[in-house]
């Protein structure tokens, strides 16, 4: 944990979440949600210190290959099989301000859609040089990047013939625990996106499109790796100029 | 015509899925060698100040079946009631206590376990003191957006009785869903996602 240098501490409460924009708890098309969704209303709570504070992680915790999934599980001299891509973007808040020092953790299947997990039994093989996890921390302007191979789609036991689109899971920490977010990134042009019950848990098409990374030709490295750009937006926070807060700020 | 606000929309949540461990607790699920240790696995060291406690429990679905693929994160103040966060303006928290921990539920039993310290009291927005509490955040396959709740301590009856957040729970029969019974320095906090004994979840 470390402070972010040259940053005026932010102590405002976060904007309320738009719960009509996010997926609701109960989305029967995604079967597992039926028994795992609360039935009672949530208790609303304007942010107290417990929510407006949160852990902040220092760059020092990162290993050299933490943001290189092509190599971070590979044997010496080896690399993962698949379409080499760079995923990069910015973490912003709803006021369009960069979120510096945001910890991003990501995980994904290999090029054939197979996850390295004991509960996964899909018949596509594991790649001995691919683990599937990575992490990075945004810089002072909110930028991040990592290198990986493009994951394959994979079948899952929901409907009789449901397949997930190619996707990368993202976990994000902003500056307050109320900003904590897990989401998934999809790839521009993938026709599978519009068939997926998990994607369809999101009510608003614009909210789905915000999770689709654009092919970024300008950032593509010739003869090496294509690039996809994926910006992430976290909750904005109120200015505390006129708030009569006993904690003092 | 009015000026546009120029605000963005928050990225929509999606489920963490059944393989959340690959990304967040890789060593736990057998992916060794990428990270030295799983993040959030250890919250206390020899120099951490405060009373050592253990919190265990399970996350149960609408049939009472424990989730074997859930992941829980907790966030709490130190023994003096200070958060280890840049947004903490009241002083410096214990440098030997991050205040944050992460634990996957066991793949066989569904149990989770945190070794931490009992947090001090933290002021509410109007200055009243909240009872000692720990914020929980639960994600899993089938949970589309992470669930926030709080755990209060069964041996803090007086503080719980004056807690401004617990006081806002209209249905008083639901208050005990947030209070973990004490057994010495051990607390058991079961989280019921749905149904008769549904835990109170927060929109924070």
The C-alpha atoms of residue B17 and residue B135 are separated, in whole angstroms, by: 22
What 8-state DSSP symbol labels residue B64?
Answer: S
Nearest to B203 among A45, A93, A182 (CB): A45
First to last CA, chain A: 22
Q: Where are the alpha helices (DSSP H) in chain B?
A: 20-24, 157-161
Give strand pairing partners of A186. A167, A212
Copy the structure tokens of residue B81.
């009631």
**Strand A133-137 with A181-187, pairing:** unpaired
Nearest residue on chain B to A135, alpha-carbon basis: B23
Per-chain mean pLDDT for chain A: 93
- Is residue A248 predicted with pLDDT exceeding 80? no
pLDDT band with cut points at 50, 70 and 90 for residue A167: very high
Span of A1-15, A84-98, A112-126, B147-161 with lowest mean pLDDT: A1-15
The mean pLDDT of B93-111, rounded to a whole number, is 98
Tell me how many degrees the CA angle B10-B105-A18 measures, rounded to the nearest 5. Answer: 15
The mean pLDDT of B78-96, rounded to a whole number, is 96
The C-alpha atoms of residue B1 and residue B58 are separated, in whole angstroms, by: 53
Q: Report whether A111 contacts A152 (CB < 8 A).
A: yes
CA A108 to chain centre: 11
The C-alpha atoms of residue B124 and residue B154 are separated, in whole angstroms, by: 20
pLDDT band with cut points at 50, 70 and 90 for residue A50: very high
- Is residue A239 predicted with pLDDT exceeding 90? no
The C-alpha atoms of residue B202 and residue A51 are separated, in whole angstroms, by: 11
What is the structure's pLDDT at A247?
A: 46
Q: Which of residues 34-93 of B touch A (CB under 8 A)?
A: 34-36, 39, 61-63, 65, 67, 69, 73, 75-77, 83-90
pLDDT band with cut points at 50, 70 and 90 for residue A244: low
> Is the CB of residue A112 less than 8 Å away from at least one CB of chain B?
no
The mean pLDDT of B35-43, rounded to a whole number, is 96
What 8-state DSSP symbol labels residue B187?
Answer: E
Q: Where are the alpha helices (DSSP H) in B17-150?
A: 20-24
Q: What are the phi and psi torsion angles at A66 (to 5°)?
A: -60, -30
How many CB atoms neighbour CB B109 within 10 A?
A: 10
pLDDT band with cut points at 50, 70 and 90 for residue A245: low
A171 vs B124: CB contact, 8 Å cut-off?
Answer: no
pTM for the predicted model, two decimal places: 0.96
Write the secondary structure of chain A as one string of H (helix), E (strand) and C (coil): CCCCCCCCCCCCCECCCCCCCCCCCCCCCCHHHHCCCCCCCCEECCCCHHHHCCCCCCHHHCCCCCCECCCCCCCCCCCCCCCEEEEEEEEEECCCCECCCCEEEEECCCCCCCCCCCCCCCCCCCCCCCCCEEEEECCCCCEEEEEEECCCCEEECCCCCEEECCEEEEEEECCCHHHCEEEEEEECCCHHHHHCCCHHHCCCHHHHHCCEEEECHHHCECCCEEEEECCEEECCECCCCCCCCCCCC
B9 vs A206: CB contact, 8 Å cut-off?
Answer: yes
Q: Strand, helix or coil at B177?
A: helix
The mean pLDDT of B173-201, rounded to a whole number, is 98
What is the structure's pLDDT at A215?
A: 98
CA distances from A175 to A15, A121, B125 (A): 13, 37, 18
A182 vs B21: CB contact, 8 Å cut-off?
Answer: no
The position carrying tokens 């947004």 is B87
Q: Strand, helix or coil at B91?
A: coil
The mean pLDDT of A42-59, rounded to a whole number, is 95
What is the structure's pLDDT at A155?
A: 97
What is the structure's pLDDT at B1?
A: 87
């Amino acid at each position: 944990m470390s402070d972010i240098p040259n940053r005026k501490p932010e102590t405002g409460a976060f904007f309320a979440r738009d719960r009509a924009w996010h997926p609701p708890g109960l989305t029967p098309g995604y079967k597992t949600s039926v028994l795992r969704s609360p039935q009672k209303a949530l208790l609303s709570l304007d942010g107290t210190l417990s929510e407006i504070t949160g852990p902040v992680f220092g760059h020092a915790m990162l290993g050299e290959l933490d943001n290189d999934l092509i190599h971070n599980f590979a044997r010496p001299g080896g690399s993962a099989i698949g379409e080499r891509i760079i995923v990069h973007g910015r973490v912003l808040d709803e006021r369009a301000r960069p979120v510096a020092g945001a910890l991003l953790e990501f995980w994904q299947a290999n090029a054939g859609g197979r996850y390295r997990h004991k509960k996964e039994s899909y018949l596509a093989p594991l790649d001995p040089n691919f683990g599937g996890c990575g992490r990075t921390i945004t810089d002072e302007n909110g930028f991040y990047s990592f290198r990986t191979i493009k994951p394959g789609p994979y079948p899952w036991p929901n409907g009789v013939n449901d397949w997930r689109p190619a996707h990368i899971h993202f976990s994000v920490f902003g500056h307050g625990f109320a900003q904590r977010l897990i989401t998934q990134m999809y790839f521009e042009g993938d026709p599978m996106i519009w068939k997926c019950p998990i994607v369809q848990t999101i009510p608003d098409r614009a909210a789905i499109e915000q999770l689709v990374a654009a092919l970024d030709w300008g950032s593509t490295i010739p003869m090496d790796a294509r690039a996809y750009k994926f910006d992430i937006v976290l909750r904005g926070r109120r200015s505390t100029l006129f708030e009569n807060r006993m904690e003092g700020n | 015509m009015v000026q546009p606000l120029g605000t963005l929309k928050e990225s929509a949540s999606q489920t963490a899925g059944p393989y959340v461990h690959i990304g967040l607790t890789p060593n736990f699920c057998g992916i060794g060698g990428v990270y030295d240790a799983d993040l959030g696995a250890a919250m206390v060291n020899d120099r951490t100040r405060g009373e050592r406690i253990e919190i265990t429990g399970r996350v149960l679905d609408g049939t009472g079946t424990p989730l074997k693929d859930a992941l829980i994160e907790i966030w709490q103040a130190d023994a003096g009631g200070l958060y280890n966060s840049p947004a903490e303006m009241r002083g410096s928290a214990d440098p030997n206590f991050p205040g944050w921990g992460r634990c996957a539920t066991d793949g066989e039993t569904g149990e989770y376990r945190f070794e931490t310290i009992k947090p001090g009291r933290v002021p509410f927005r109007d200055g009243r003191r909240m009872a000692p509490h720990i914020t929980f955040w639960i994600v899993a396959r089938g949970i589309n957006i992470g669930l926030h709740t709080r755990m209060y301590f069964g041996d803090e009856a007086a503080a719980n009785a004056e807690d401004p957040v617990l006081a806002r729970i209209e249905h008083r029969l639901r208050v005990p869903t947030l209070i973990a019974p004490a057994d010495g320095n051990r607390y058991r906090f079961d989280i019921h996602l749905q149904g008769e004994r549904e835990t109170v979840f927060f929109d924070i």
